Amino acid sequence: MKPDYKGIDKTKTYLITGAAGFIGYFLSKRLLELGCRVIGIDNMNDYYDVTLKYARLEELMKTGSSSGIFIFIKGDISEQDLVNAVFIKYKPNIVVNLAAQAGVRYSIENPDAYIQSNIIGFFNILEACRHSYDEINNQNNDYQGVDHLVYASSSSVYGANKKVPFSEGDCVDNPVSLYAATKKSNELMAYTYSHLYKIPATGLRFFTVYGPMGRPDMAYFSFSQKILNGEPIRVFNHGDMYRDFTYIDDIVTGVKKILCNPPGEDGVRHKIYNIGNNKPEQLMYFIETLEKALSKATGKRLAVKKKYLPMQMGDVPRTYASTTELERDFDFRPSTSIEDGLMKFAEWFKDVSS
């Protein structure tokens, strides 16, 4: 275990961007349940059904009223004045940037959204972290600036790398989608700000996160709805794809362990970790397991109809996370099996789709 590992500090203020998003919601909820003060920002955009985002936000409001403190700001991190005002007013100690335009395929048709949110928005967060150390913003003498910036990267930065498992030290200079390029850019930007301004920063390469209350734009959502409706699902690359599916609870546990443990004082204070299940599943097995989970959850004998298609532009055939560094520094690796994770999802999905 990391020698100086620290648990969650309840005296800190946690700023979470994308708080009504999938990972942002579950992380905010976990911190609130621990009694923390959480400031959430989200623009509540309609990339997917905002009803789900408002449902998550309502749950955070309830949790914040019974434990912890939750303050929500509806706004976009691409608005620099808004970001600066939030930092000046609330003086966050730990910043978790999860706000981003997600989706590999969506980036082919809507590139502007990725530049605004993932590049300009992240730049605004970095600048606000930098200026949190300025005396002009240090109206409270007890506030010493941001202790740690944690930000979401993605397994997509590995592109179509053939060497597996993907390790943090691998070359990631060949992204195959604009989304991946923006996430690689975030890592470079964070490294530079850490180098220039000594901002402790950690980037997390998430691997195909799934679970209840997840993103409806992801394949397992559309698969589930079509399976229940008896409609054929689209299977790309004729099913010859592998993904390192990672259950949401494992993601949140990993992030929580990292929050109060910024990179050390020697050299550039910037670190990157994979958070993945370290066990890629073939797409066809994933579909088979989802079919069984939905059948058990609904009490019906369901059968998947499939329509096989070629690989989509910007997609990759395989993702596979090495978790060696995460295990070394935090004595943690995700462990939820695809069978258990999909069963939990199926139980939730049955209730919301009935």
- Can 273 be counted among the known catalytic residues? no
Longest dimension (CA), the chain: 65
User: Which residue among the candidates 47, 151, 179, 193 is catalytic per the annotation?
Assistant: 179
CA distances from 297 to 133, 168, 229, 256, 352 (A): 52, 38, 15, 30, 12
- The answer to whether the beta carbons of residues 278 and 354 sit under 8 Å apart is no
Exposed/middle/buried for residue 217 (C-beta within 10 Å: 0-12, 13-18, 19+): middle
Sheet of strand 13-17: strand arrangement = 69-74, 37-42, 13-17, 94-97, 148-154, 201-206, 270-275
Q: Which residues pair with 74 in a beta bridge?
A: 42
Find the helix packing angle between 219-229 and 283-298, rounded to 10°: 50
Q: Using CA atoms, how far apart are residues 63 and 287, in angstroms rounded to an integer? A: 34
**Taking the mean position of all CA atoms in its chain, how far away is CA 56?**
15
Look at phi and psi of residue 320 and say left if phi exceeds 0, alpha if psi is from -120 to 50, else beta.
Answer: beta
Q: Which residues pair with 148 in a beta bridge?
A: 94
CA angle 139, 142, 148 (to 5 degrees): 100
Question: Which residues are catalytic, by number?
Answer: 179
